[in-house]
Amino acid sequence: MMNGREIRAQPPLEFIPPSLNPIVLRSSQIILPLWLRWKTNIASIQADRVEILADLYHQFQQGKIRFLMAFRHPNTEDPYAMVYLLWKLLPQVAREQGISLQIPTHAHFIYDRGIPLWAGEGIGWLYSQLGGTPIVRGKMDLMGLRSARQLFAEGRFPMMAAPEGATNGHNEIVSPIEPGISQLGFWCVEDLQKAQRSQQVLIVPVGIQYRYVTPPWKEIETLLTQLEIETGLTTLQTSEASDEKILYQRLYRLGEHLLSLMEEFYREFYHQTLPQPKAETSQLDTEAVLSIRLQNLLDVALKVAEEFFVLPPKGNFIDRCRRLEQAGWDYIYREELKPTHNLSPVERGLADRIAEEANLRMWHMRLVETFVAVTWYYVQEKPTAERFAETTLLLWDLVTRIKGGNPFFRPSLGKQRVQMTIGEPISVSDRWHDYRQNRRQAVATLTKDLQMALENTIATN
């Protein structure tokens, strides 16, 4: 199922061109506070060092710089936080600092072309009207890259994008970021030089973190109980919902049980070999063993999908997920199904069959995509309500996917405060000489530095 519909073969995904509509932008700005209140878990949004962003916008509007905001992506509600930052907090701080900014303070943005497939076609229209441009992950999307590149160098507003590529569900872990943002930065420098323009090109890291207004210990215990029942475990009652030691034992037991179920699932029905490392006596060793088992399981899940699509297991888990996603889309969105082509009913039926098969194989990839950033030490080393909640919700995602439900509609554990941090801008222009000497190395170095910059925005207290 995709967005509640039966999977059938379809024509190729069309590019959705950005088409900024001032009326839609203004309407969205008016609706945003009500949307945040009634449709999200966000209670408040605050940001540090917004004066840096105000100065950058002033320089941008003076024609001195071009820049892209690279924001952390722990949560599906991150876009709301970003536009609140730009539409509400930025103008306010600019006024306080005596910085004159032209209104509206907005940004073009890059989004995953797959979002409208599960969120609805209306989202694709809205993103287009707000000046967003789509990108197809996992392949050389020439049209999408060309559009993003053009907006970076020539767009009315700065750019913003999430270099992690997808949400990872963790406030205090940054997933390995993808090199695309760094490459776009160097392309922008190149395009400006060809046009004999002297603007500097910058990438600005933006941190986003969520904290519960009230620690949701009771809600976490309730969700754990639900998951225990759904996975066939006997529920362990706690005397206090916030008894961290017992809650951790329950969370660990649930995770280990699900891991065992999935290991047996792949052994029995997909004939996969999963090594069983032996746990030592200490709890630390047990945690290490569980982490190894999880990594082995994720590898096997990807191999099951890769064998179907005849793809080599090349690169890290994220690289493999992106290639599998594109392979699946190639089976579902078919060139021969364009309106100009005629297929017989039998050919159409076969195309639908392979689309259904592809979607089933992509299910394995979605499991890995959800758990690629999970580590069992995350809760153990700092048993906060946030870390308990994040890990429990990821396990809920897994159970929901197994049951055939939609993991994008998570249960709410309570209202949250959003804390944003503007990091120090990274000059891409200053690295142009390095890029000309060795492009691949320059992109890799910039990507590594951006990764560290995003990690530095994380507050761990």
Q: What is the average pLDDT across 38-66?
A: 97
What local confidence, expressed as pLDDT, does residue 423 receive?
97
Question: Cα separation of 338 and 343, whole Å?
Answer: 10
DSSP state of 176: P
Instruction: Give me the residue label for tokens 């001032």.
Output: 22
Q: What is the average pLDDT across 109-127?
A: 92
Question: Cα separation of 246 and 274, whole Å?
Answer: 30
Question: Cα separation of 444 and 442, whole Å?
Answer: 5
Question: Cα separation of 329 and 116, whole Å?
Answer: 14
- Taking a C-beta distance cutoff of 8 angstroms, is the pair 83, 220 a contact? no
What local confidence, expressed as pLDDT, does residue 327 receive?
95
Question: Cα separation of 15 and 331, whole Å?
Answer: 18
Average pLDDT, the chain: 92
Residue 138 pLDDT > 80, yes or no?
Answer: no
Question: Cα separation of 185 and 148, whole Å?
Answer: 11
Question: Cα separation of 378 and 393, whole Å?
Answer: 14
Q: What is the pTM of this model?
A: 0.92
Q: How many alpha carbons fall within 13 Å on the CB side of residue 6?
A: 4
Residues of the chain with pLDDT > 90, as a percent, come to: 79
The CATH number of domain 22-213+416-455, selected from 3.30.2020.30, 3.40.50.300, 3.40.50.20, 3.40.1130.10: 3.40.1130.10
Residue 361 pLDDT > 60, yes or no?
Answer: yes
Residue 1 pLDDT > 90, yes or no?
Answer: no
Residue 56 pLDDT > 60, yes or no?
Answer: yes
What local confidence, expressed as pLDDT, does residue 374 receive?
78
The better pLDDT of the pair 107, 5 is held by 107
What local confidence, expressed as pLDDT, does residue 2 receive?
47
What local confidence, expressed as pLDDT, does residue 193 receive?
97
What are the pLDDT digits (tens) for 254-312?
999 999 999 999 999 999 998 766 554 444 467 788 888 999 999 999 999 999 999 99
Per-residue CA distances from 405 to 243, 259, 344 (Å)? 31, 19, 33
Q: How many alpha carbons fall within 13 Å on the CB side of residue 354?
A: 17
Residue 339 pLDDT > 90, yes or no?
Answer: no
Residue type at 33 in one-letter notation: P
Residue 373 CA to its chain's centroid (Å) = 11
Q: Where are the domains of the chain?
A: 22-213+416-455, 217-403
